[in-house]
Chains A and B, each alone.
Chain A
Amino acid sequence: LLIAVFHYYANCQQIMTRTPLASRSFSHGKVETDEEFDARWVTYFSKPDIDAWELKKGMNTLIGYDLVPEAKILDSALRACRRLDDLASAIRILEAVKDKSGPHKDIYPYLIQELGPTLAELGISTPEQLGIDKL
């Protein structure tokens, strides 16, 4: 019974905190592949009735990781912004991703290129178009 309770608790922990398997390296456990990581985050943002808190939490957590999110994750996040009628967050996400790329200046233009159709479809302006990428 104690073991069952422990397993239940451990599962709950993982579901609630959504700890990424990829960022914990243990030699005994399974390491999440990049595709699994991406899929998990796309699913997270694709939730049809996602609420504002979940969007913020997801985005802030994602930016906390040592990576630049894939275009498909960002696409999903932008669509979540649209469902929540939050244009400011959508633009902020683009800014955050550019900042996250750091010295790798080629990542952001690539992402904008990949997200082009989505940006056009949803009517999201890039920070460059709004002029907030400069002082």
Chain B
Amino acid sequence: ARVMLCRAALGRVGLWRGLCSSSRLQGQTGSELVDCTVTPYLCRLDTPLSDVPYVRDLTNEQRALKEKEKGDWGKLTKEEKLALYRLAHKQSYCEMRQGSSEWKTVLGGVFFMLGFSGLLVWWQRVYVFGEVPHTLSPEWIEKQTQRMIDMQVNPIQGFSVYWDYEKKQWK
């Protein structure tokens, strides 16, 4: 019973079959085949009237409604008019124009991944990296700086400009 439930939960296409990028297996989903020889329905803002209606295979009820459409439109009820519209079109202009909140998911995901990466980097800093070289210790830096001042490193635009040689301090 549990196996059956799993199968049902995965839907028509199994998880791994869905992920499969092998071209040999790609077409073999069965129920998702799109007939590429028929003109597709296109729902576009710049193309109000698509080449084919959205619903092509009509039930008997829908066929009857299409017959009624040949008569006086004033006699159609609001629901019937709506039904006729929906037979021909998948989405109204309003529905086409509505955005989604997907960007929030995307942005959230991005921040989450950045944060997670930050945690990984921190862990790495603490547990993986060894000690820093002795040349970065404060004593060494002090001696190094003094040496640079004595050498007058970058006296025009860089380092030694900021040292006041008379007062023997930083400007």
CB pair B46–A64 under 8 Å, yes or no, is: yes
In which size bucket is the chain A interface?
20 to 34
Does residue B103 face the partner (Cβ distance < 8 Å to A)? no
The smallest C-beta distance from A58 to any residue of chain B, in angstroms, reads: 9
Q: Is the interface of A mostly helix, strand, loop or mixed?
A: helix
Name the A residues within 8 Å of B98 (CB-CB): 135
Chain B 54-86 near chain A by CB (<8 Å), digits 1 or 0: 000000000000000110111110100110110
CB pair A125–B46 under 8 Å, yes or no, is: no
Does residue B47 face the partner (Cβ distance < 8 Å to A)? yes
Instruction: Report Cα–Cα, A99/B48, bound state, in Å.
Output: 10
Residue on B nearest A60 in the bound complex, by CB: B47
Residue on A nearest B66 in the bound complex, by CB: A85
Residue on A nearest B50 in the bound complex, by CB: A56
In the complex, how many residues of chain B place their beta carbon closer than 8 angstroms to a beta carbon of chain A? 29
Name the A residues within 8 Å of B72 (CB-CB): 123
CB pair B48–A129 under 8 Å, yes or no, is: no
User: Among B46, B75, B76, B93, which residue has its beta carbon within 8 angstroms of that of A95?
Assistant: B93
Instruction: Report Cα–Cα, A46/B125, bound state, in Å.
Output: 77
Interface segment, A4-12, A30-38, A86-94, A109-117?
A86-94
A-B contact pairs, 28 of them (CB 8 A): A56-B51, A59-B49, A60-B49, A63-B46, A63-B47, A85-B70, A86-B69, A87-B84, A88-B89, A91-B81, A91-B85, A92-B88, A92-B89, A98-B93, A99-B45, A99-B93, A99-B97, A122-B73, A123-B73, A123-B74, A124-B73, A129-B78, A130-B81, A130-B82, A130-B85, A131-B82, A132-B82, A132-B85
- Beyond the given A92-B88, A96-B48, A130-B85, please list 16 additional residue pairs across the A-B interface where CB-CB is below 8 A: A56-B49, A59-B48, A63-B46, A64-B46, A87-B73, A88-B84, A89-B88, A92-B89, A123-B72, A127-B92, A130-B78, A132-B82, A132-B85, A132-B92, A132-B94, A134-B94
User: Among B49, B74, B97, which residue has its beta carbon within 8 angstroms of that of A92?
Assistant: B49
Name the A residues within 8 Å of B76 (CB-CB): 87, 123
Does residue A49 face the partner (Cβ distance < 8 Å to B)? no
Instruction: Report Cα–Cα, A64/B48, bound state, in Å.
Output: 10
Name the B residues within 8 Å of A63 (CB-CB): 46-48
Name the B residues within 8 Å of A106 (CB-CB): none
CB pair B47–A88 under 8 Å, yes or no, is: no
